[in-house]
Structure 1
Amino acid sequence: IVNYEKQLDKSYKWYADLGIHSVKTGYAGGLPNGHNHHGQYNVRHYRKVVKTAAKYHTTLDVHEPIKDTGIRRTYPNMMTREGARGMEWNAWSEGNPPEHHVLLPFTRLLSGPMDYTPGIFDILYERAKKSPYRKKWNMKDSKDCRINSTLAKQIANWVILYSPLQMAADMIENYEGHPAFQFFRDFDADCDWSEALAGEPGEYVVIVRRAGDKYFLGAATNEDAREVTVKLDFLETDKTYRAVIYADGKEADWITNPTAYEIIEKQVTAEDILSVDMARGGGQAITFMPL
């Protein structure tokens, strides 16, 4: 951090001169002189970085940050941040349990956007574990690591875990030719309106967001399979929508069959009611596009 601050103004000016106005930073590891990530030392540092970035019209996505405090109201260039156990935690530990994703909307996300980096398709790291470069690190041998959700829930988390910037964080090879990647192409993270439709902390959650004339719904559950009935009265009443549903497959289960999914299309209106079926540790994502 000391080295970073010495170059701070020069670095952000250099980026701005190159036409680069978005920066992702990270602070993994220890801090100088025994300081911790949430102490006054880092509070002052983060504020200095945010102000410097604002000076050069640059937005920030910060990992290993201090907790969100509402600073975005003064400095809206503080676009999003991590600030809780995100996706990377699954790389070297027991991972985040299924209940984690349905607890965050009631806790961490109340303070502001979170760059969780959801959307992993190689749930069991089948491709990653074949790499000769993957080794034991931190707490756990890599052969024991995995994502504790279904594939459909990974897609749903793009809607549920709000961030105005979403990152397709998996290896490109795991997305190439995958039909479910179409959701990411259709999705717009810069939403104009959001509403929580149903949920209980640590149990399940259903959230819908609108961006322009499209709506996106995300639903997720904990370790229990669940069926939730959702009224579509949030849609505009004078329009018919093409709903593309990314759902858990009939035999999906976050432990035994996490990658089973299906894509269903239907036409719906604001008068319709959908039954959202979720497997254990699963979820469902829906794109509504006006016809």
Structure 2
Amino acid sequence: MNLLSRKWTAILLIAVPFWANAQKGIELKDPSGKIQLNVMLGNTVTYSVSHGEDVIIGTSPVSMTLTDGTVFGKEPRLKKKKYRTENQMIYPPIYRKQSIKDHFNELTLEFKGGYSLVFRAYEDGVAYRFISDLKKPFMVESEQAVFNLPNNPKVFAATPKGRKIDGVENQYHSSFQNTYRYVELSKWDKSRLAFLPVLSESENGKKVCITEADLLNYPGMFLKVSSDNKGFYGEFAAYPKDISVEVRGLKGMVKTREPYIAKVEGKTVFPWRVMVISEKDTDLLCSDMVYKLATPAAEADYSWIKPGKVAWDWWNDWNLYGVDFRAGVNTETYKYYIDFASKFGIEYVILDEGWAVAGPADLFQIVPEIDMEELIRYADSKKVGLILWAGYRAFDLDMERVCKHYSAMGIKGFKIDFMDRDDQYMVDFNRRCAETGAKYKLLIDLHGTHKPTGLQRTYPNAINFEGVHGLEEMKWAQPGTDQVTYDVTMPFIRMVAGPLDYTQGAMNNANKENFKAVYSEPMSQGTRCRQLAQYIIFDSPLNMLCDAPTNYLKEEECTKFIAAIPTVWEETKALCGEVGKYLAMVRQKNDVWYVGALTNWDSRDMELDLSFLGEGEYKAEIFEDGINADRVGKDYKRKVIPVPADRRLKIHMVSGGGHVMRIWK
């Protein structure tokens, strides 16, 4: 029996109530019967999706073109169809829940010509994928993935900040970090790509979040708006051909590309095209669909994987004060970080960019200011683990030897950066990082990369992913950058795909009028309690404390609270929320409940429903916005109160504010 799941599966070879053949096509319904997916076979394969009486995805074509002229999905000749239902419990080793119910109905259409299409219907969405049974390797020229959206809906989408190559912006080179535009589909700039996930409004308050899952060796999908404004269609970066070396030898820029998007083996399982459907916005906050669709991990012992908090150096620019040594990338500074982590029970310290000699892209050349063996010895004596930063190219040049060497020395993981692409080569690089890291029992934090697609299920040591407009953006934010609104939008969109490397924890907190971008002594937008709440609301198994240890030592009350918050959970629930406006979530571990709430720039009064608590008397430790927090973001008030017997608690958040509480018996 798989250590990560227990399941029962039934294969049904005749029609049953949740699917039926009709002249118009082949119907598949989810186990609840609310979602209906209709597949039609004509000159092409098309599909449509409805939820109750509402059309979510209008009729949309599906195909894949190979470089030899073969087209999967063109003039399809059905060979066999097979139906399956599955109901299982998944028990992830690292996740925001102790268990996940995985219940779906599935339809497999096997066609002549050596390929199949698989459709799945869950109670909260649908997905489809191609499977090739060809015997010889081939190349994919293009894929047709279309998502037609009725009635010109409004969409939340982010466009990549393309890097310039030879003076011209290239949208396929991006860190996947941007805020969302909220516009009617027809008003989207058709020259711009949108990176996944993308959220579209539908009828009766419903929404559909479009993303992908099980992306292991294939380019990531972007979306563009069709010329007739009917919906989105997929765009993919072609396979890289000529790559120039940039940024101190740590980054590669693709100068030219091949006339195909992927090289694959004959027998190949392609990524899932995913549509998560919500009846209310809060349904999106706890979606497990991407994780469920990912390839399960091999049976193994994953107890060595230790999530936790990280004292991080780069955001605060190594700015210590009140010390008797010159702060910077040196042994004395990192011993100070280690002492700080040990004092508060923080599990890790990261050595970010600077510990290895710049230029050669050689991770075995350590700067003379760092005594790595001494730091590892000292950290071990303080029960603190060390994680090393690496530019992707340096890591890629000698991945096996780097992992073997530093694992043997006692390093606990790598934070890998500057990938900035999701063509097939780079997607496979992420997979190889996770695979090689697992071999040597190393945590892998994939920074500078695209959104997750379930790699954390396939390789549980792949613990964090960036692809988010995180707090680092505040160091160089342009005027008008609205991180506060992003914070109450992103959990309904980007977090649907998986965990984040957002890097919260600022102790210098500013309101809208006082905020300014300062690289070396940065600040956050919004209040102190907002920063605390993000540790509860944002999914990050490896969670940073971004500010300087000296600043945390001046704010021990907040620091102790942050350090005690778990990073993986037994239960996660959404309490309330509306995209772009506010949200509140609750998480539980070891009989302790944590509640976090955020608002946008509107001050807000809310009544939280705490009925999830069982019988008995409970206490709550509360951090709330101070009476002057709208003027001085650092203002907060801490109190301990009994939880009301009626389990209703009124809270107030100022503009850009937040609210947190810890509840126990």
The amino acid across from 1:51 in the alignment is: E
Match of 1:193 in 2: 571
- Per the alignment, do residues 145 and 11 of structure 1 end up closer, same or farther by CA in structure 2, a change over 3 Å counting? closer
The alpha carbon displacement at 1:23 in A equals 2.2
Trace 1:88-107 onto structure 2 (pairs within 5 A): 88-94=472-478, 95-107=481-493
Match of 2:398 in 1: 7
Match of 1:65 in 2: 449
Q: Does the 8 Å CA contact 2:395/2:402 hold for their aligned counterparts? A: no
More RCO (CA 8 Å, sep 6+) = 1
Q: Does the 8 Å CA contact 2:450/2:466 hold for their aligned counterparts? A: no
Pick the aligned partner of 2:494 from 91, 108, 111.
Answer: 108
- Per the alignment, do residues 107 and 211 of structure 1 end up closer, same or farther by CA in structure 2, a change over 3 Å counting? same
- Give CA deviations for 1:94-143 in whole Å, capped at 9, x if unaligned: 3542111111110110011112111111125xxxxxxxxxxxxxxx7759
Q: 2:645 and 2:444 mapped to 1: Cα distance? A: 37
Q: 1:164 and 1:262 mapped to 2: Cα distance? A: 28
- Give CA deviations for 1:195-237 in whole Å, capped at 9, x if unaligned: 0110000100000000111111110000100111112111222
Match of 1:272 in 2: 647
The alpha carbon displacement at 1:241 in A equals 2.4
Secondary structure at the aligned position of 1:264 is classed as: strand
Residues 183-192 or 113-122, more deviating: 183-192
Trace 1:219-258 onto structure 2 (pairs within 5 A): 219-238=597-616, 240-253=617-630, 256-258=631-633
- Per the alignment, do residues 81 and 274 of structure 1 end up closer, same or farther by CA in structure 2, a change over 3 Å counting? same
Q: Does the 8 Å CA contact 1:38/1:67 hold for their aligned counterparts? A: no
Match of 2:661 in 1: 286
Trace 1:120-269 onto structure 2 (pairs within 5 A): 120-124=506-510, 142=519, 146-178=523-555, 179-238=557-616, 240-253=617-630, 256-268=631-643
Give the TM-score of the pair, scaled to structure 2.
Answer: 0.38
The alpha carbon displacement at 1:63 in A equals 1.1
- Per the alignment, do residues 166 and 270 of structure 1 end up closer, same or farther by CA in structure 2, a change over 3 Å counting? farther
Match of 1:43 in 2: 427
Determine if the alignment matches structure 1 residue 87 to structure 2 residue 474.
no
- Give CA deviations for 1:18-45 in whole Å, capped at 9, x if unaligned: 2333222222xxx7xxxx5122221121
Match of 2:21 in 1: none
Q: 2:412 and 2:483 mapped to 1: Cα distance? A: 35
Gaps of 5+ in 1: 125-139
Secondary structure at the aligned position of 2:398 is classed as: helix
Secondary structure at the aligned position of 2:438 is classed as: helix
- Per the alignment, do residues 270 and 20 of structure 1 end up closer, same or farther by CA in structure 2, a change over 3 Å counting? farther
Identity %: 31
Q: Does the 8 Å CA contact 2:527/2:625 hold for their aligned counterparts? A: yes
- Per the alignment, do residues 3 and 151 of structure 1 end up closer, same or farther by CA in structure 2, a change over 3 Å counting? closer
Q: 2:588 and 2:654 mapped to 1: Cα distance? A: 26
The alpha carbon displacement at 1:180 in A equals 2.1
Gaps of 5+ in 2: 1-391, 511-516
Match of 2:440 in 1: 56
Pick the aligned partner of 1:76 from 460, 465, 482.
Answer: 460
Match of 1:127 in 2: none
Q: 2:444 and 2:520 mapped to 1: Cα distance? A: 34
The amino acid across from 1:16 in the alignment is: S
The alpha carbon displacement at 1:48 in A equals 1.3
Q: 1:54 and 1:244 mapped to 2: Cα distance? A: 38
The amino acid across from 1:52 in the alignment is: T
Larger relative helix fraction:
1
- Give CA deviations for 1:81-101 in whole Å, capped at 9, x if unaligned: 111111100001135421111
Q: Does the 8 Å CA contact 2:433/2:444 hold for their aligned counterparts? A: no
Secondary structure at the aligned position of 1:117 is classed as: coil
Q: 1:89 and 1:289 mapped to 2: Cα distance? A: 36
The alpha carbon displacement at 1:2 in A equals 4.2
The alpha carbon displacement at 1:68 in A equals 0.7
Q: Does the 8 Å CA contact 2:468/2:501 hold for their aligned counterparts? A: no
Secondary structure at the aligned position of 1:167 is classed as: strand
- Per the alignment, do residues 57 and 142 of structure 1 end up closer, same or farther by CA in structure 2, a change over 3 Å counting? closer
Residues 36-45 or 161-170, more deviating: 36-45
Q: 1:81 and 1:96 mapped to 2: Cα distance? A: 22
Match of 1:128 in 2: none
Secondary structure at the aligned position of 2:577 is classed as: strand
Q: 1:143 and 1:18 mapped to 2: Cα distance? A: 32
The amino acid across from 1:208 in the alignment is: V
Q: 2:579 and 2:628 mapped to 1: Cα distance? A: 26
Match of 2:160 in 1: none
Q: 1:76 and 1:274 mapped to 2: Cα distance? A: 37
The structure 1 segments of at least 4 consecutive aligned residues displaced by more than 3 Å after TM superposition are 140-146
The alpha carbon displacement at 1:268 in A equals 1.7
Larger relative strand fraction:
2
Q: 2:520 and 2:435 mapped to 1: Cα distance? A: 43
- Per the alignment, do residues 3 and 186 of structure 1 end up closer, same or farther by CA in structure 2, a change over 3 Å counting? closer
- Per the alignment, do residues 260 and 79 of structure 1 end up closer, same or farther by CA in structure 2, a change over 3 Å counting? same
Match of 1:117 in 2: 503
Q: 2:495 and 2:645 mapped to 1: Cα distance? A: 28
The amino acid across from 1:268 in the alignment is: V
The alpha carbon displacement at 1:58 in A equals 1.7
Higher gyration radius (CA): 2
Aligned alpha-carbon RMSD (Å): 2.4
